[in-house]
A and B are shown apart, each in its own frame.
Chain A
């Protein structure tokens, strides 16, 4: 039965982020498909709540408070994940620090922070987990990016550069680790909203009128993609960015 190939039972996934954006939803999606979860983000109730939800689904879960832009904390988090679960099969990097300011007004500190959270964290987490994956000769790395990783927007130069950097990291590393049996891919999202809003209400938003599917993304809209790329069903997709964005990029 082909649907069984999508199952993540017996696998351990780390979802690393800064507590914003898609991390919690992707953790739930991976758990739905059967994975045990480590959720790593800077403290707070958010990640503990997600871990509780995962446990309610009958999976093991651990929330590890981590500053993902800090090398020592990332190393500790990965060691702890391995000592508790014995291995790591899947790494999802989904940090998101939004930032917009006219280019000439961007300070050194702002630039560094945008890069640290959005790009450096992906480097640190992937390096720490990748060492372990290469030893086991198996693994899946999935980086989460917005449409601004591939298209430009005024006042968003720093953010676009960081997210574009994640995509280039994805492509280059997909080459370097291909023979190590590790797949490195990215999934992309468009505009999304965590609250359910009626179609009518959504259409008042000019942004929504620009989305071919005429609705904002929902928290579940990346679930299928992340499970596809995390699973054994999919071995030959590598170095790609795959979007679930309601068709926005079909305009481009």
Chain B
């Protein structure tokens, strides 16, 4: 039965950047579908909070402070996840920095900013996939879900590191999918559009989100909870024949090429 295929009971998921935003929402969703969850990011506070929420849902959870841009920390995190929870079935590479904060004229971007950005967004996904991948390939089963961005598929003015890193994540997905296709490991990518993951307490942020929503075909920005079910689907048996695929979740923004919505003249046939 199809609804049973979506059940994640008995599975263990590692979710990087799971203390906030989309990562937290996906942690809740996977736990809600039955998975135990390892939450990994740098700050202890947020990941501890997510972990205790997951425990509150009756699942096992671990919060492991990890900088995904440091391969040794990643290796240790994965070792600990396996030794304490027995295995890793699902990896969600979600940790990332960027978005609008990193846009600036190209000549103002420092070597350091570029390097840290690429290290976190792209190399971090590579380190985590490498660390978990061997374990998954040996067990002949696994699911990797990479979080890219609409900016991994389209250009952005003054947006360099983030676009390049997120485009890299798309092709990391496809190459891993082809490489591990015969090892029972599925690798797919979620491409979120604009999601309201920042606290809405500042008026300029509320205004920014409202103006973004107006230009979305659906007239709203994403809510973190929107990605949860998609992550559950991609983590589950229900997606067994799905690999190397890109799942845009953006209210239809990319399908319309991000043109102003509502501009739809009626042109009658002539002659």
The answer to whether residues A237 and B182 also contact, given A2-B232, A32-B3, A250-B177 and a CB cut-off of 8 A, is: no
Is A238 touching B251 in the complex (CB atoms < 8 A)?
yes
CB <8 Å contact, B2 and A213: no
Question: Which residues of the other chain, A, contact B241 by a CB distance below 8 angstroms?
Answer: 213, 217-218, 221, 244-246
A177 nearest CB across to chain B (Å): 9
Q: Which residues of B sit under 8 angstroms from A157, Cβ to Cβ?
A: none
B65 within 8 A of A: no
Q: Within 8 Å CB of A231, what residues of B?
A: 229
Contact B229 A247 (CB under 8 A): no
- A165 adjacent to chain B (CB < 8 Å): no
With contact pairs A171-B255, A237-B247 given, residues A33 and B2 touching in the complex (Cβ less than 8 Å): yes
Inter-chain CA distance A245–B256, complex, in Å, is: 25
B264 / chain A contacts, CB cutoff of 8 Å:
175-176
Chain B's nearest CB lies how many Å from the CB of A50?
16
Digitize A188-215: 1 where CB-to-B-CB distance is under 8 Å, 0 elsewhere: 0000000000000000000000001110
Residues on A with C-beta less than 8 A from B33 are 2-3
| Bound-complex Cα distance A16 to B236 (A) | 28
> Which of A33, A170, A234, A239 has the most chain B CB within a 10 Å cutoff?
A239
Give the complex CA separation of A24 and B177 in angstroms.
30
Partner among B1, B6, B32, B244 whose Cβ is within 8 Å of the Cβ of A250: B244
Nearest A residue to B220 via CB reads A236
Which residues of B, 234-271, contact A by the 8 Å Cβ criterion?
Answer: 236, 238-245, 247-252, 254-256, 261, 264
Judge if B168 is at the interface, Cβ distance under 8 Å. no
Interface residues of A (CB under 8 A from B): 1-3, 5-7, 29, 32-34, 170-171, 174-176, 178-179, 212-214, 217-218, 221, 223-225, 227-228, 231, 233-240, 242-247, 249-251
Give me 15 other A-B pairs in contact (C-beta within 8 A), A29-B2, A236-B249, A247-B178 excluded.
A2-B32, A3-B33, A32-B3, A178-B252, A213-B181, A224-B233, A227-B2, A234-B229, A235-B226, A240-B247, A245-B242, A246-B241, A249-B244, A249-B245, A250-B245
B interface residues with partner A (beta carbon < 8 Å): 1-3, 5-7, 29, 32-33, 173-174, 177-178, 181-182, 193, 217-219, 222-223, 226-230, 232-233, 236, 238-245, 247-252, 254-256, 261, 264
